[in-house]
Amino acid sequence: MTFLSGCYTSSTTSGNIPLKYYLGVATPANYQTVVKEVLLENNYHIENYENNATSAQIITRWNIRAPYPAETDAGFFDSKTRIFITAIIDNSTFSKNNGFGYECYMEVLNHVYSGRDREYVEFYNVPLLKSEMDHIAQTLSENFENNK
């Protein structure tokens, strides 16, 4: 089941499914500033900005944290999360004064470590993590000028 709140869309499916969100349309004027502010408010720090002719991407540093209860219950003792915000140019939105609008998406990587095989694995069946990411996605969507 999917629900829509403003321009923010999230999947309500349970299980070990990666967290991906549609955030709505941002302007060139607010994309980077809004994303930076919201990420910092939620203890995520930007590591990299990547730009090309058709898109821009903001990538956070890994947020190394104590495991959430669902992660420890599954036998993991180390956790880290990273966020990717991708903005794809929407050619139909061009205007002489404001340039293009960006269709914005958020993807979350959550890696956990159990000591087995000496490597991190992806793990998403974490209700508290999903709740936190839903909040970040909702806040981003509400702050884009075109969504007001």
Q: What are the boundaries of each domain within the chain?
A: 2-13+23-147
Q: Pairing relation of β-strands 46-51 and 19-26? A: unpaired
Interval 62-92: pLDDT, tens: 999 999 999 999 999 999 999 999 999 987 7
- 60: which 2 tokens? 């956070």
As beta bridge partners, residue 64 has 80
* Predicted local distance difference test score (pLDDT) of residue 146: 53
Q: Are 56 and 102 in contact (CB under 8 A)?
A: yes
Q: Are 11 and 20 in contact (CB under 8 A)?
A: yes
Q: How confident is the model at residue 17 (pLDDT cuts 50, 70, 90)?
A: confident
CB atoms under 10 Å from CB of 133, counted, come to: 23
CATH of the structural domain 2-13+23-147, one choice from 2.40.30, 3.30.310, 3.40.50, 3.30.980? 3.30.310
Q: What is the pTM of this model?
A: 0.84
CA distance 31 to 106: 13
Interval 125-136: pLDDT, tens: 999 999 999 999
Residue of 26, 78, 16, 79 lying closest to 57 (CA atoms): 26
Residue of 40, 3, 22, 11 lying closest to 85 (CA atoms): 22
Interval 27-75: pLDDT, tens: 877 899 999 999 999 999 999 999 998 999 999 999 999 999 999 999 9
* Predicted local distance difference test score (pLDDT) of residue 96: 60
CA distance 14 to 71: 15
